Amino acid sequence: MAKSSKHGATETDARSLAVTVERNLPESRLQQLGIKSWPKWGCPPGKFPLKYDAQETCYLVKGKVKIFTKGCPECMEFGAGDLAIFPKGLSCTWDVSVAVDKHYKFDSSS
């Protein structure tokens, strides 16, 4: 799990807006989540500011990304084979160094 510092946020806020990453998911976990039935999206290298209005879970098939969270000086990285969960309300910038191809789903109830 990504750890957020307290810069500009309370401990509770930092924890609730932390990005969670599961690395190198086995095929059994992919099947359990039904990832291959999720929509796909891709992007070229570049920087993309994002604000999550709903929780997003994504699985990177290809690519490498650094995530810079608003209000936190630290970044985290994830890439091909990793599953990341971005909480509702999070503002961050994706710094894509290797073009991304991902499966994703949104959960507006979270």
Q: What is the pLDDT of residues 53-76, one digit of tens each?
A: 999 999 999 999 999 987 788 899
- Rounded Cα–Cα distance for residues 97 and 110 (Å): 29
pLDDT band at 47 (very low <50, low <70, confident <90, very high): very high
Position 71 scores a pLDDT of 77
Strands 46-51 and 75-79: unpaired
Position 23 scores a pLDDT of 96
pLDDT band at 78 (very low <50, low <70, confident <90, very high): very high
Which three-class secondary structure string do you get for 95-110? EEEEEEEEEEEEECCC
Residues in a beta bridge with 20: 85
Residues in a beta bridge with 59: 83, 103
pLDDT band at 46 (very low <50, low <70, confident <90, very high): very high
Q: Is the pLDDT of residue 94 over 50?
A: yes
Position 72 scores a pLDDT of 81
